[in-house]
Structure 1
Amino acid sequence: MLQLCFGDSVKGTLTCAPHIGNTIGGATAVVISTDKPLDTPLKKAAFSVYRTLAAPFYKRRAQKQEARRRAEAVPVDYESNDVIALLGDLNEGPIAGGLMSEARKEVVRAWLCFSPHGDTAGTDADVEPYWQACQKDLQTLLTRAHTGEPVRIWYDHTPASLCGLHAAAALLEDAPCQITVVETPELETKNGVARRAALGERGPTEMGALLQYERPLPDTDHHALAARWRSLQAENAPLRAEQNHRLTSVPAGFYDAMILSEAPANEIMVAQLIGKVLAECRLGISDQLIYHRIEHLKRSGKFLSVQPSPAPYQEIIRRA
């Protein structure tokens, strides 16, 4: 059975899930840092003692937590080579020309060649292997689904994942295969509103437990999803978001008011503002999208640059 997901992080998690056992694998790292200068011998000595005592404690705690998660993990029923992903971030940019159009490739290029920290950005040499891997996954999906192999779709309620679900429904509308979906459950409540943890927020040990939420995708729902995706392609808006439980085309400035609402009256680093928006608004969108909207708000005079930086995310800004 094919395991179809949306985004590299989810693909990596699902790929690792079949290898989960009751032993700890990989490396456990502990980082202890300070933004205060260690400018006296006393401060240096105190920090050295803290680092020496704290690091082993946090390492042991992390190992115990990982061991518990692995011991409680529900085994998955597939192999790693069954996991494929459709091109991610379909909630951003043009979609009229299809998943692997040149316009979509430009979106991928902009994403891969952007460096938030001012270091060496990616180049076209990095784009091509990634693009070819996406094409390979798409071809695998179409080939195996049209031979009748069942497809299990993993999705959450982030805009990119919902776009992937709709796009997959359109791609598989004529495929003679059984389709089931695994939808993330509601997990917690914030201000009276239940939210679903995105699949990208989960680890490999959690994937097996989500299989209890698997359900068949009825033909009526399948056709409705496919029809909705074709409508969205025809509209070809800058962004897509879930509104009133429906995937909808929205303008480029859809998130601007929420970004401004999280900006304090005083100065703030761009990275901190992005973090506040991601943590507080729970929009399920990429940090790069938020950054580009901040840049637009700067150009329109809503934000002022207080301290520019060669590292885009380290710039200091404030509200105008």
Structure 2
Amino acid sequence: MLQLCFGDSVKGSLTCAPHMGNTIGGATAVVLSSAKPLETPLQKAAFAVYRTLAAPFYKHRAQKEQARRCAEAVPVDYEPNDVLALLGGLNEGPVAGDLMSDARKAFVRTWLCFSPHGDAPASEADLEHYWQACQADLQALLTRAAAGEPVRIWCDFTPGSRCGLHAAAALLEEAPCEITVVEAPELETNGSVTRRAALGERGPYEMGALLKYERPLPAAERHALAARWRTLQAENAPLRAVVDGQLCSVPADFYDTAILSKAPAGSFLTARLIGKVLAECNLGIGDQLIYRRIECLVKAGKLTQVTQGSGPYENILRLP
């Protein structure tokens, strides 16, 4: 049975999920750092003692937590090579015509080759490798579905995932195969924080438990989703968003009000504003889209750049 998802993070978790019952060991990294340079011998000695005592404690705690999660993981019923990913990020950029069009590839280049902190971005060779992997997954999906192999679609209620579900329904509209959908809950609460339950934020050990949400995708719903996707392709808007439960074309500035509402008083780091929007607005969008809108807000004079950092996310901004 094919496992279709949208985005590399979800694909990675789904691919690892079949191994959760057999996990031996694992990798755990513990980083201890000081906010200020260690200048005196006493400071250096104290930090060395702290590092020696704290690192094993935190490492052991992390390993224990990982072991618990793996032990509690619900087994999945597929193999890693059954997992395929449709091209992600369809909520932003051009979607007219072929899913793997040149225009779509040019847009993918803008986010794949973006360097938020001034480090080395992905190269053109990295883009080609990624693009070819997406094409291979798409071809495998079409070939195996045409042969009648059942397809299970993993999705959530974020705009990118809803776009993926609609696009997949269009691709498989006439395929002679059964289709089911695993929809993660729209919102989940952890303590006092309620957020969109994005599949990309879940670990491999969480995937099996989501199978209880699996449901059939009837032919009528498949056709309705496909028809809606063709309408969105024809509109070819800059963005697509979920509005009142419906996937809609929206203008490029759709999220600007929410972004400005989270701008702190005084000067602030771009990364801080992005973090506040991600944590508090429940928009279901990624950091790069937020940053691109911040760029537009700066150009429009609705935000002012105070200083330029070593990378885009390190710029200092303020309200005008």
User: TM-score range with shorter-chain normalisation?
Assistant: over 0.9
Letter of the 1:2 counterpart: L
Aligned to 2:283: 283
Q: Distance in 2 between matches of 1:177 and 1:183?
A: 19
Q: Distance in 2 between matches of 1:261 and 1:100?
A: 36
Query: Are the equivalent residues in 1 in contact too, given 2:94–2:238 (CA < 8 A)?
Result: yes
Q: Distance in 1 between matches of 2:59 and 2:137?
A: 37
Shift of 1:192: 10
Farther off after superposition, 224-233 or 308-317:
308-317
SS at match of 2:21: coil
- After superposition, give the CA deviation of every residue in 1:227-254 in whole Å (9 maximum; x if it has no partner): 1101100110000010100001111111
Shift of 1:199: 0.7
Aligned to 1:159: 159
1:43 and 2:43 equivalent? yes
SS at match of 1:36: coil
TM-score of the aligned structures, taking structure 2 as reference length = 0.96
Aligned to 1:68: 68
Aligned to 2:212: 212
Aligned to 1:300: 300
Shift of 1:196: 4.2
Please, which runs of 5 or more residues in structure 2 have no aligned partner? none
Q: Distance in 2 between matches of 1:193 and 1:224?
A: 34
Aligned to 1:81: 81
Shift of 1:195: 4.7
Q: Distance in 1 between matches of 2:46 and 2:131?
A: 50
TM-score of the aligned structures, taking structure 1 as reference length = 0.96
Query: Are the equivalent residues in 2 in contact too, given 1:4–1:153 (CA < 8 A)?
Result: yes
Letter of the 1:249 counterpart: S
Farther off after superposition, 155-164 or 30-39:
30-39
Q: Distance in 1 between matches of 2:193 and 2:233?
A: 31
Query: Are the equivalent residues in 1 in contact too, given 2:156–2:186 (CA < 8 A)?
Result: no
SS at match of 1:265: coil
RMSD: 1.8
Query: Are the equivalent residues in 1 in contact too, given 2:7–2:85 (CA < 8 A)?
Result: yes
Q: Distance in 1 between matches of 2:198 and 2:107?
A: 22
| Count of residue pairs the alignment pairs up | 320
Query: Are the equivalent residues in 1 in contact too, given 2:195–2:279 (CA < 8 A)?
Result: no
Q: Distance in 2 between matches of 1:167 and 1:279?
A: 28
SS at match of 1:20: helix
Farther off after superposition, 35-44 or 246-255:
35-44
- After superposition, give the CA deviation of every residue in 1:79-119 in whole Å (9 maximum; x if it has no partner): 00000000000000010122100110001111121111112
Shift of 1:50: 2.1
Aligned to 2:96: 96
Query: Are the equivalent residues in 2 in contact too, given 1:17–1:204 (CA < 8 A)?
Result: yes
- The alpha-carbon distance between structure 1 residues 300 and 285, as it changes in their structure 2 partners (threshold 3 A), is same
- After superposition, give the CA deviation of every residue in 1:191-233 in whole Å (9 maximum; x if it has no partner): 9996541111111111111111111011221111111101100
Shift of 1:302: 1.2
Query: Are the equivalent residues in 2 in contact too, given 1:187–1:197 (CA < 8 A)?
Result: yes
Letter of the 1:51 counterpart: R
SS at match of 2:35: coil
SS at match of 1:247: strand
SS at match of 2:5: strand
Please, which runs of 5 or more residues in structure 1 have no aligned partner? none
